[in-house]
Structure formats: structure tokens, C-alpha cells
A and B are shown apart, each in its own frame.
Chain A
Amino acid sequence: MGLFTTLSSASRALDAQRFGLEITGQNIANLNTDGYARRSPILVEQSMHDGGGVQATGVSAARDAFIEARLRGELPAQARDGAIVDSLAVVQTSLGQPGKSIDGSLTAFFDAFSALSLNPQSAVARDGVVLQGRLVARAFNDMAGRLADSRSAADSQVRGIAGQVNALAARIATLNAQIGGANGADVEPLKDEQGAALKQLAALTPITVVAGETGGVDVSIGSGRALVVGGNDYALGVSSTGISGLAAITSGGVDITAELSGGKLGGVLEVRDALVPAYQTSLDQLASDFASAVNAAHASGYDANGDPGQSFFTTPATVAGTAAALTMNTAIAADPSLVAASGTGSAGDNQAATSISQLRDAMAAGGGTSTFTEAWSQIVYRVGTDAQSAEQDQQSRQDVVSAISHLRDAVSGVSLDEEAGYMLRYQRAYEANAKFFGVVNQALDTLMSLVGGA
């Protein structure tokens, strides 16, 4: 092997060490890049027959498909619980503090009838009853409105998440096409992006990923509904259904909403379609029970004019929607003398007012199993336990996701200390090779001077 061959070998070695330094720089630069897999230069020894030395032949990325799949498998459950926790946090806040919400309005309403029972002919006491009647109806209306808002907010999120799923599916399909058509070019950055997109997608909804031969992935959701196949994506549709106008998710024209139980999408759907509707049903039942009991007691009495009492509250024909539509009888609201305080028709009698004030302790809610205040406390308890359960589940899922993320980082993550070591190693190797290059070059100079001298 001649000096020129040795010089070429030293030159390739310098290239290889510089390439190693470049890879180290790339790793350090992407220390905080989500989805980035640590790169390593592929250095191959050159045989002495081929001039010797080393050749940088490519780059390898440290990935573990099994860990990536485990992470994608755990993310949906964590994201689902997180979505429920976030949505129910708003619902919980809207329930108000004990004594200052529906329960406080009920207490004030019964207090007003109690005051009226003390002095049934008092115009002030009658005005108080009308005022508290309006306020308790409004309290139910407001609470129903807040729950409806929570449901609408969840529906908006459903639509937004469907859009995010479609955007990610389109990106993954594009990446599939780019990876498949790379023709030997470096596809690792594309695979990093593919992995990050799959991770984001898995947090939105559970996915099944099948790796293709060319490095692309096919993705399906629900019960095997294709979302991405090769370079094609099949966008989810969103259609408004029924009177409520709530969004239904479709795939290929088929409603697959019921299949989407996991991920952030599943959590939001759970809040929209199961949890909040259950609270609304309970609230409507409470409002209906309350209005029915008060109306019955009020209608059995007599107003200040000696006429039979009317229904105190106006309610819709069905229990559903009662909380939102509950209003005071407009005639009574306009004329407090129509409040029926008397049970006999005598102006000074207070039996009807007393009967209504006694409803405070009556087991008239929940099919005769609880008082109105207890029924309200049961709704609050249910919201609290639902949220608490989701919080605890989310925490345990978070621990699992965190543990798997650490496993992934053990394989794919960038360690600054490690890269610093590599940087020093490549730097020293470059210096040594440069020195060697200089020595060979000097030898060549010596040889050339001999030739020139001859």
C-alpha cells in the first residue's frame, strides 16, 4: 500500500470522525425534540486490500418497536381519564358550594313559606314567597344551563378532536408515501415524525398500527375501521344528529361513535353521552319532584281572596327538561295575593303555607326515598365520585405511561453526558487522524523532495 493510498485512507478516516461529530451535534440539537430517536453513525472498517481505514456508511436510529407499541397502547386510557377529569372539573365548579347552590335556594324557598305561615296575611311575607319562588326556579334553570353548556363544550371537543385525527391521519399517509418513495435517502427524520404522529393519534383515540414493508404504517381505529392505508387516508366524518344536533363520528358513511370508547375522544364522548346526561336526568327528576309536590300542596290551599290555589310552578309535560323550563306561575308572580297560604279559605289560616314549608323534610324526591336536599346532595356526590375515580385512574395510568416513557428513553433518548463523551471521542479521533494525515503528507513531501533533487 503506497503513501497516496494511506493518505486517502487517512482522509476517509477524517471524514468518518467528522461525520460522527455531526451525528453527535444532531443528537444534542434534538435533545428536547418529541419523538426523536438517538442516532449513531455506522462506521465500517475498510480492509487493507481496499486501502484500509474506516468508512461512514450511514446512520442508525435507536428504536424499539415493542416499546413504542406499548406506549401507544397505554396512552389512550390515560388521555381518556384526563379528558373526563378536565370536563368534570368544569361541571364540579358549576355545582357551587354547599348551601349556596340548589340546596341554598330550596332552603330559602321553604324559609319563605315558613315566614308566611307565621303571618299569612302579610304582604311582605307573600312578596318573599314570590321572590324565592322565582329564585329557586332560576337556580334550577341556571344549573340545567350549566350542564347543557358542559355537554355542548364536550360536543365541540368531539368535533375538534375528529379534525385533529383527520389531520394526523393525512400527515401519516403523506409520511408513508415519502418513506416509501425515499429510494435509499435518509428516512429517519420521517420515521421520527411518523412515530410522534402515531403517539399523538393514540392519545386521541386507540389505534391499531400495522407496519408495512417499506417503512410505512397502516392505521385503523374502532372495530377495524381503516384510517390510513399506505399513502391514503380515510377521513372521519362529523355529522349533527337528532334534535340535540350532537356530533356523530362516521367512517365511510357508517356511524362509529359507539366504537370510540378510548383516548381523549372516548373520554369526551363519555362525558357528553353518559355522565352529563345522567346528571341532567337526576336534576330534571329533582326539579319535577319538587314542582309536583309544591304544586299539589299549593293547589289544595286557598289564596288571599278565598279562591282555590293554582299550581305554583309551571312545568313541561315531561320530566325531561323540567329543570331548564321550570318557571313560577306568571299569574302568582304578578299578584302575590294568589299565593295560597290558607288551608281552609279563612284569611288568617296558614295550613297550606305550613304544608309547603314542611316539604323541606318530606321524602318526596327520588320516588319517596329522599328529601329534595338529599336528592341534590346525591347528584353532587355522584359528580364528585365520577371525577375522583377518573383522577385516580388517570394518576395510575400516568405512572404506567411515565414508566414506559422512561423505557423508551433508555433506548431512544439522548443523553447529554453520553453525547459529550462521544463528542470528545470523535474530536480526539479526528485530531489523531489529522496528525496521521500530516505525517503521511510530510513523508510524501520528503519523497517529493528526493524526486525533485534527482
Chain B
Amino acid sequence: MRLTFNTVRDGLEAIDAAAEQLQSAQWQVSTGRRVRIPSDDPAASQSAINTQGEIGALDAYTRTANTADAHLSALDSTLGDVVDKLTQALTTATGAHGNTADQTSRDAASATLAGIRDAVADDINSRFDGGYLFGGTAGNTIPYAKGAGGWTYQGNSASRSVEVSRGRSVAFTMNGEEILKGSDSTDVLTTLDGLVNAVKTGDNAAIGSGLDALQRAFTRAVRAQSLVGADEAALGDAKDRINELRLGAGERLSNAQDANLADAITKMSQAETTYRAALGAVGTAEKVSLLDYLR
């Protein structure tokens, strides 16, 4: 068979192919990525997109979980304060119950109870992150307000929940009325109002019924705090799980689109050698001709 050497076709095709391999390897090394366009590895491209979406969802869950965590901490500490105040109120009212306290002591106890009432009202009207913690979903309406007719709950019975992981939600606003009133006929603020007067006047019957109401409110507050505590613990588990999933997703994404640098550098070296060989082969073949030997 006759052999001819076509520089344009054979030589440049070989050089182009080698140059393309070298460029691809250089790109992988310089960017650290393996897939430049989908046709490089369609399945990896698809996996990278889905994993990026998964990472986006996990990051969103992390943000909501962190926000929910902060809200739950605020609820926990506020409810802890309410429990402390109700404990003080129980102690103070119990001390004033019976016939042993003189008027001076009763006046002091009455003033203490008034202070506790105001502190509980402040607690239940706490704001956090621009909203009320115990107003349900009523928005910017203050939960408890005192008017001419006494204390009124202005929030609602709903609670605002956020999704902290797939299918798991955490409530981070509460129904203040459920804590302060529950199934009683009056809320604990009104009860404290009554106790302030009853202690001052030495009305033991009223103090006794007030103590019962305080005890029930105390129980409700402790139960609410324990529920928040349970949510906090569960949220901690959820965050740990999200972190694990996030790490796993990051690894999957890396597997899908990142280059193995050691492999990429080896390939670049090989591609460079091939490129030089292609250039050398074309150059050598071009140099050699029978014409060089004819004189």
C-alpha cells in the first residue's frame, strides 16, 4: 500500500486531540473540578444538581433550627422565670395565710405579690426577634393587657411552628392563656390581683382559693417549660442529624463534581507527554524526506 503523509489531516488531528486532553487535564487541576459540561458525565451532573438541592434544603433546615433553638431558649428562660415568680407568690401568700401575720407583714406581702404580678405580666408579654412569645399567632398584639375590666388575653390559641427537618416541626410561640389561665375561670394575673387585696385585708378564704389557683398555674407553667425542654432536646438531635446529612451530602457532591487531584495531575502529565510526542512526531515526519538525500 502506498503511504502518504497528510500534514493537515493526520498531523493536526493528532495534535488537536492531544491538546484537547491536555487542556481538559489542566482545567481539572486548576479548578479542582471534574465535570465542565453535562456531557462530560451526565449522571454526575444530575447527581450534583440534586445534591446541591439537598444541601440547600439542609442549610434551610439548619437556619430554621437555629432560629427555633433561640426561640425555645427564650421560651425556656421566660417560663423558668414565671415558675420562679409563682413559687415566690406561693411562698409569700402562704406566709400571709392564717392569723399569725400582723398588718405590717401583710402589707409587705401584698406589695411583694403586686411586684410578682407585674413581673409575671412582663414575662408573659415578652418579645423576642420582633414578636411576642406568648401571643400565639396574633402578631404584634400584646398578649395580656389590663383594662377597666381587668386582665384580658389578646392573643390566640394557635402557635407558630417551623419545620426543622423533613416532617418535624417545632412550635416557637405559645398560647399565653393556656399557661396563665388554663381551664380556670380567671388567669393568674387576676388571681394575683385578688391575692394582693386579700393579703392586705387578711381575707383568709380568698387567700386560700388564691393559693389553689396559684398552685394550678404553677403546675401549668412547669408543664409548659418541660414541653419546651423536650422540644429543645429533640431539636438538638435534629440539628445533629442535619449536620450528619449535610456532611454526607457534601461528600456526595464532591464525589460527583470534584476532580481527584492526584489522578488529574497524573493525567495532565501524561497528556503533556502525549502532546509533546504529537508535536515531535509531526515535526520529525515533516523534516524527513527523500529530497534531503538527493544531491
Contact = CB atoms under 8 A, between A and B. Distances in A.
Interface string A368-387: 00010110111011011101
Interface string A331-352: 0000000000010101111100
Contacts, number: 180
B119 interface: no
Given A346-B158, A385-B42, A417-B290, A377 B131 contact: no
Interface stretch (B132-140, B188-196, B199-207): B132-140
| Of B130, B162, B289, most A-chain CB atoms within 10 Å | B162
Contact of A107 (B3, B37, B53): B53
Contacts of A411: 2
Interface in A74-92: 88-89, 92
Interface stretch (A51-59, A110-118, A190-198): A110-118
B56 A107 contact: yes
Interface stretch (B44-52, B223-231, B261-269): B44-52
Nearest to A423: B294
Nearest to A377: B49
Interface stretch (A96-104, A141-149, A241-249, A439-447): A96-104
A349 B129 CA distance: 15
A420 B289 contact: yes
Contacts of B166: 361
Contacts of B291: 416, 420
A380 B38 contact: yes
Interface string B164-180: 00100100010000000
Contacts of B130: 119, 121-122
Interface in A385-439: 385, 387-388, 391, 402, 405, 409-411, 413-418, 420-421, 423-424
Nearest to B2: A410
A405 B9 contact: yes
Contacts of A114: 60, 63-64, 163
B289 A99 contact: no
A416 B290 contact: yes
A409 B4 contact: yes
Given A118-B162, A348-B135, A414-B4, A99 B50 contact: no
Contacts of A405: 6, 9
B57 A361 contact: yes
Contacts of A115: 63
A334 to B, nearest CB: 23
Contacts of A374: 50, 53
Nearest to A378: B46
A110 B53 CA distance: 11
B197 interface: no
B257 interface: yes
Nearest to A121: B139
Nearest to A125: B130
A86 to B, nearest CB: 12
Contacts of B137: 342, 344, 346-350
B6 A413 contact: yes
A119 B136 CA distance: 13
A421 B48 CA distance: 61
A107 B57 CA distance: 7
Given A117-B64, A409-B4, A380 B160 contact: no
Given A99-B52, A106-B53, A378-B46, A410 B163 contact: no
A349 B137 CA distance: 5
A47 interface: no
Contacts of A344: 137, 158
B39 to A, nearest CB: 4
B8 interface: yes
Interface in B1-50: 1-9, 13, 37-43, 45-50
A384 B42 contact: yes
A360 interface: yes
A240 interface: no
Contacts of B52: 98-99, 103-104, 107, 373
Given A358-B163, A360-B60, A92 B4 contact: no
Contacts of A107: 52-53, 56-57
Contact of A380 (B49, B158, B257): B49
A247 to B, nearest CB: 27
12 contacts: A103-B52, A107-B53, A114-B163, A360-B60, A371-B53, A373-B53, A377-B50, A380-B45, A380-B49, A388-B42, A402-B13, A415-B2
Interface of A: 32, 88-89, 92-93, 95, 98-99, 103-104, 106-107, 110-111, 114-115, 117-122, 342, 344, 346-350, 354, 357-358, 360-361, 371, 373-374, 376-378, 380-381, 383-385, 387-388, 391, 402, 405, 409-411, 413-418, 420-421, 423-424
Interface of B: 1-9, 13, 37-43, 45-53, 55-57, 59-60, 63-64, 67, 129-132, 135-140, 156, 158, 160-163, 166, 169, 173, 257, 289-291, 294
Per CB-CB distance, the 3 closest pairs between chain A and chain B, nearest first, are: A384-B38, A347-B139, A384-B42
